[in-house]
Amino acid sequence: MRISYGDDESQFGELTKPAGASKGVVVVIHGGFWKSAYDLDLGRPLAQSLAGQGWTAWNIEYRRVGNGGGAPATFDDVDAAIDKLADIDGLDTTTTLTLGHSAGGHLAVWAAGRQDQPQWQGAKVHITGALSQAGVLDLRAAHDDDLGSGAVEALLGHAPTKADVAYDPQQQIPLKVPVRCIHGGSDENVPPSQSTDYVAAATRAGADASVVEIAGDHFIVIDVESSAWTRQLDLLDELSGR
């Protein structure tokens, strides 16, 4: 079911419901270094698999760099897409998790704490847990490593600094909800240190965070036929308290 949450052509999501009772909602956020060349097609196999496992999947699109996105528009869109869930009749958002790959992992973890930032303190639907798939969780380190050939600077409109706390998960530690990370050990697009360093800092700060390192590259975590995906289904159940 395609549902719009705004007037822009990128402001919509696809809601896929399970055949029976729902375990909760998983917001699927695709990656692609926040660039308009990539879209929610990347999330469709995940959404279908999630629905088959009893989840309601909300695969969202958002404005990206190159089609009106960047800060704050990209973040405003993710916030609005999640809040749109409150308007869907009969949908229980008591358990609402985020699941994101790469740049989507960044947005998934960001969304879990967005209500603590002044710009989004009016959030209606709060995230109860986040699963980052090879996520870009430290914008300053990602910029220093030139991930995505200048992708962080393109997203923010400038090189990231301490003033970008509203957009940077690493600077928002500790979150009040659990975060799980999964990362391929041979990832050449986003180094595993983006996950391991985030989790180390989060746990030092008293947050509930952990990382699973697996064999594979950047894309193994979105292969729904892989054992990595099976592991993530277990992590989502864990985040939901099942």
pLDDT digits (tens, 9 = 90+) for 26-67: 999 999 999 999 999 999 999 999 999 999 999 999 999 999
Q: Cβ(142)–Cβ(159) under 8 Å?
A: no
Q: Cβ(193)–Cβ(182) under 8 Å?
A: no
Burial of 134 (0-12, 13-18, 19+ CB in 10 A): buried
- Considering its fold, how many domains does the chain have in total? 1
Instruction: Kindly list the strands in the beta sheet with 209-214, ordered across the sheet, starting from the edge strand earlier in the chain.
Output: 2-4, 12-16, 56-60, 25-29, 96-101, 129-133, 179-184, 209-214
Give the pLDDT score at 69. Answer: 98
* Entry field: residues in the chain: 242
pLDDT digits (tens, 9 = 90+) for 186-202: 999 999 999 999 999 99
Q: Which residues contact 223 (CB under 8 A, 6 or more apart)?
A: 229
Give the pLDDT score at 26. Answer: 98
What are the structure tokens assigned to 87, written together?
């308007």
What CATH number corresponds to the domain at position 96?
Answer: 3.40.50.1820
The one-letter code for the residue type at 59 is N
* DSSP sequence for 109-178: HHHHTGGGSGGGTT-SS---EEEEES----HHHHHHTTTTTTHHHHHHSS---GGGTTT-GGGGPSPSS-
Give the pLDDT score at 17. Answer: 97
Whether residue 151 has pLDDT greater than 90: yes
Residue closest to 214 by CA, chosen among 230, 236, 198, 200:
230
Whether residue 242 has pLDDT greater than 80: no
Q: Give residue 234's pLDDT band: very low, low, confident or very high (50, 70, 90).
A: very high
3-state secondary structure of 27: strand
Question: What is the pTM assigned to this prediction?
Answer: 0.98
What are the structure tokens assigned to 110, written together?
């960001």
Residue 196 belongs to domain spanning: 2-239
State the Cα torsion 225-229-231-234 to the nearest 10°. -110
Report the alpha-carbon distance of residue 176 to residue 190 in Å, rounded.
Answer: 25
Whether residue 241 has pLDDT greater than 90: no
3-state secondary structure of 33: coil
